[in-house]
Each structure stands twice: as structure tokens, then as C-alpha cells.
Amino acid sequence: MLIDFIDKLELPDDKARTHYNELHSLDYLAAGLKFLYDQVQNLEAEIASRIPKDKKVFHFGNSPEMSGIPQYLAACYFHWYVVTVCNYVKLVGWLGNDGDSTKAREYMECVLPQVYLWRHKVAAHFAIIDPQTKGRHPDTAADLAKSVMFPLSFDDDAFYANSLGLTMTQKGKSSTSRHDMRWSLTYTHRNLIPRYWPQ
């Protein structure tokens, strides 16, 4: 059976029988992802209906178009979605690569690069709580502060996480937050449909 219709990751029938629990997990995770997508899409449609069609907009915080929109709940939808979608994609990568955890991680980083980063810096745990001090991209003071700032803005027709950057000076040292984690829940989900749920 195909479990990724774009990269053609396949789980042979004999293995599908022995991976019942894993496939069942994909089913319930997919249901949760669709639910979260529907919730955010409905909020976005309500906001978009309040904006003239010929206008480009960027909203952060309380603007008249956001009146009555549960932005805090929308932020939680992003947190829940990102943890769930990373579990889904990594499990597909693991199943499609014969249980190889390294290949599963590489697959997830390829399919969801911005989302995966945001999961590590915000949704799985705030970077300020567990900073990365080594490696190619150690967290800056601005990254740590940004990890606990309200994450969402509304850009034209959708909510986005991590649209704004932060530059700050602390103890005489200037730093800027990462700019490679901007993502939209609804656009991400729509892009995953042909890969995982084309039917």
C-alpha cells in the first residue's frame, strides 16, 4: 500500500499486516489534522470576509478585522497541529524506510522544513526553556525571547506562525531571531493532501 503518493513510499502487504498499530495511528492522527485544519480555515474565512478583496493586509494583535476571533485558540491549534503532523510524517518516513529512524528524521526534515524547525523551537518546547547552544545554528538571545512571544499573524488570507523577526540588544550584544520557520497551517495541510490523502 502507498503511504506517500509523491515520493512513492510503499508498505508491502505483508508488512502492512504486521504494522496494524502504526497504520491505525496514522488514521487517527490524520483525523485530528483535518479537524484542526477545518477550525483554522473557518477562522481565516471569517477574517477574510471582513477585508476588501483588493487589499493586502498584515495583522498582528488586535485590529478591527480580528474582533471576536479566538486568536489564543488559533495559536493552540498551531501548537497541536505541528506536533501531530510531525508525528504523522515521521511515522510515514519510518514505515517507508523499513524502520530506519535516521531516514525517518531526514524524510520529515525534507517534507516539513519550516514546520519541523518551529516544532523544535516553539511547539515541542519553548527554546527559552531548552536552548540549543551547540551545532550549526545555536539559539541567539533573540531566538529565546521570540520562542515565547505570541506566534501568529494574519497575512492576506491566512494565519502564519513566525512572520515577525526580533532583533534585540542584551548586555551590549545584538542578536536577531531565525527567519526560516514561517509557515501556515492551512497552506501546509493543503500541500500535504496530494502526498498523503489524495482520495
Please write the tens of the pLDDT for every residue from 83-101.
999 999 999 999 999 999 9
Do 90 and 107 contact (CB within 8 A), yes or no? yes
Strand partners, 154: 59, 159
The domain locations on the chain are 2-196
Please write the tens of the pLDDT for every residue from 163-196.
888 999 988 999 898 889 999 999 999 999 999 9
Q: How many residues does the chain have?
A: 199
Alpha helices in the chain (DSSP H): 13-18, 20-49, 71-96, 101-111, 113-118, 141-146, 185-196
Please write the tens of the pLDDT for every residue from 102-127.
999 999 999 999 999 999 999 999 99
Q: Which of 81, 78, 92, 75 is closest to 33 using CA atoms?
A: 81
